[in-house]
Amino acid sequence: MARKSLIQREKKRRKLEQKYHLIRRSSKINISKASSLSEEEKKMQQKLQSLPRNSAPTRLHRRCFLTGRPRANYRDFGLSGHILREMVYACLLPGATRSSW
C-alpha cells in the first residue's frame, strides 16, 4: 500500500491539471499561431510558465485503484499487476483468463 500522502499529492495534481487545462491549452494554441520571437509569443510563454508546475499533465502518474501502487499498472483495469493476478485467480474479473503453459 502506498503512503497516504503520496496518494493525496497525486489527487491534488489531478485537480490542478483539470483546473488549468483550458488556460494551458489556449496558451499553447496562441503560441503556435504567433510569429516566432514576437512580443505576443513571449507574453504567452510567460503566462504559460506562470501556471503551477503541478498543473502540467506530464506530472500526473497513474496509480493502482486499490493499493495506490505507482508501478506495473494496467490501463484497462486501473490495477497493478499483482492485484490484477489475484483478482483473475479469484474469478472477479469477467473475460480475463489465466495463462498456463
- Domain co-membership, 31 together with 54: yes
**Per-residue pLDDT tens digits for 46-67:** 889 999 999 999 998 889 989 8
Cell of 72: 506495473
Give the cell for residue 70: 505507482
Full 3-state SS string of 13-43:
HHHHHHHHHHHHHHHHHHHHHCCCCCHHHHH
- The DSSP 8-state label assigned to residue 57 in this structure reads G
Domain ranges, residue 14: 1-61
Q: Which residue has the higher pLDDT, 34 or 81?
A: 81
User: 30 and 47 share a domain?
Assistant: yes
- pLDDT (tens digit per residue) in 9-27: 999 999 999 999 999 999 8
Residues 13 and 36 in one domain: yes
Query: Do 69 and 43 sit in the same domain of this protein?
Result: no
Percent of the chain clearing pLDDT 90 (strictly above)? 39
User: What confidence score (pLDDT) does residue 40 get?
Assistant: 83
- 80 pLDDT band (50/70/90 cuts)? very high
**Which CATH number covers residue 86?**
4.10.830.10
Whole-prediction pTM: 0.72
State whether 46 and 8 are in the same domain.
yes
Q: Do residue 70 and residue 49 come from a single domain?
A: no
Cβ 62 vs Cβ 71: under 8 Å:
no
Number of domains in the chain: 2
* 81 within 8 A of 72, measured Cβ to Cβ: yes
Cα angle, residue 47 at apex, residues 41 and 48 outer, rounded to 5°: 90
